[in-house]
Structure 1
Amino acid sequence: MSNYRRARQGSLYFFTLVTEQRRPLLTDARCRTALRQAIEEVRRRYPFAIHAWVLLPDHLHCIWQLPAEDDDFGRRWSIIKRRVSQALGPPAPVYASRFVRREGGLWQRRFWEHRIRDEQDYRAHMDYLHGNPLKHGLVASVAEWPWSSFHRLVREGVYPADWGGSADDDGVFGE
């Protein structure tokens, strides 16, 4: 895959966030709307660029680029998670330990982040992210999954429309 466009300043990060007890809530229309609104609100106050995104029922992956000299992704995620939780309310009773910390029951407490090291690392994470719905057996081809930046990147010429035809095609989505 060629034709990647990246800005030269600011660090790139790959993130994975998971719902509490892997509840399949994130592709619900209300949750998607709340997530979009929270992201827009945070981006106005704490800018960042979204290079890639995939939303699955119980987790999400994304690649963000933060402004130069800014690596405070924790604040951004904290606000986003809090806003989404407030918009939706707790999906289940909240444990006492979460109540004390004023945490809702939507998200797992932590998230995973990885700083992208170079172009090869970037491509690997882009492919992993976009191939994730196929890897989890949610679709027969990457293009079938509606909640992904894959479609935008096809329009921009980054991916061919038939990329990731099936999990058996080339094995890149295996464990």
Structure 2
Amino acid sequence: MEPGQSYHIFNHANGAENLFREKENYRFFLYQYNKYLEKVVDTYAYCLMPNHFHFLVGVREDLSGFQNLTGLIKHPSKNPAIKGSADFFNSYTKAINKRFERKGNLFVRAFKRTPILSEQQWQEVFLYIHLNPVKHGFVKNHPDWKWTSWHEYFNPGKVSVLNRDFFLNFFDSWDRVENLMEIKKEWLINKDLE
């Protein structure tokens, strides 16, 4: 993961398992995410589903304390974004294994990270992440799903790790985001009826 680059990060639970079995699991996941990645990435969007998750992030360019980041890209275990992600997944897995008396990997081995290469791709991923609960049939309206960054955009007074102003680089207003979400939601619903 390269400094200055945005990524769509996602992963799935192993097999038919769920990543989140109780509400506290969602909270703990976000807590651990912040603990390990807050200083490494800017977070623009997220959605936590029972058996998978999505994040839209930008790797920070100002990773103080890390010299020669370009060289670290060739050595993923030393790249702060990759190391932070691995530590985060490991810590969450250990906690879940202990809590539910299970063993082994909780996540599919390698988390997926797709670089965002255009403004349109950034917009699509941002909307897709927030519509994921509708896509999978958990809710009919995306604001009804609790475990998404959508709510943090509506509560500017609440402390958040989100970079809540960055979306303005891709959308001219929050009203535009809401309009596009409604259009995409209608398309999803109609697609499922076909």
Query: TM-score, normalization: structure 2?
Result: 0.68
SS at match of 2:34: helix
What does the per-residue CA deviation read over 1:50-98, in whole Å, with 9 as the maximum and x for residues that have no partner? 110000000000011111257643212211111111222165754xxxx
Q: CA deviation at 1:166?
A: 8.2
Hey, what's the Cα distance between the residues in 2 that align with 1:152 and 1:112?
A: 24
| Equivalence for 1:48 | 41
**AA in 2 matched with 1:48:** V
Distance 1:25 1:165, change over 3 A: farther
Q: CA deviation at 1:37?
A: 2.6
Distance 1:126 1:166, change over 3 A: closer
| Equivalence for 2:22 | 28
Tell me which protein shows more helix as a share of its residues: 2
Hey, what's the Cα distance between the residues in 1 that align with 2:153 and 2:57?
A: 15
Hey, what's the Cα distance between the residues in 2 that align with 1:32 and 1:83?
A: 14
Stretches of structure 2 that go unaligned for 5 or more consecutive residues are: 62-68, 74-78, 156-163, 165-172
Hey, what's the Cα distance between the residues in 2 that align with 1:50 and 1:18?
A: 19
Tell me whether 1:74 sits opposite 2:82 in the alignment.
yes
**Is the contact made by 2:131 and 2:181 (CA closer than 8 Å) also made in structure 1?**
no
SS at match of 1:57: coil
**Is the contact made by 1:141 and 1:165 (CA closer than 8 Å) also made in structure 2?**
no
Hey, what's the Cα distance between the residues in 2 that align with 1:143 and 1:27?
A: 21
| Equivalence for 1:127 | 127
| Equivalence for 1:18 | 12
Q: CA RMSD for the aligned pairs?
A: 3.0
How many positions carry a matched residue from both structures? 156
Query: TM-score, normalization: structure 1?
Result: 0.74
**AA in 1 matched with 2:115:** R
**AA in 2 matched with 1:137:** G
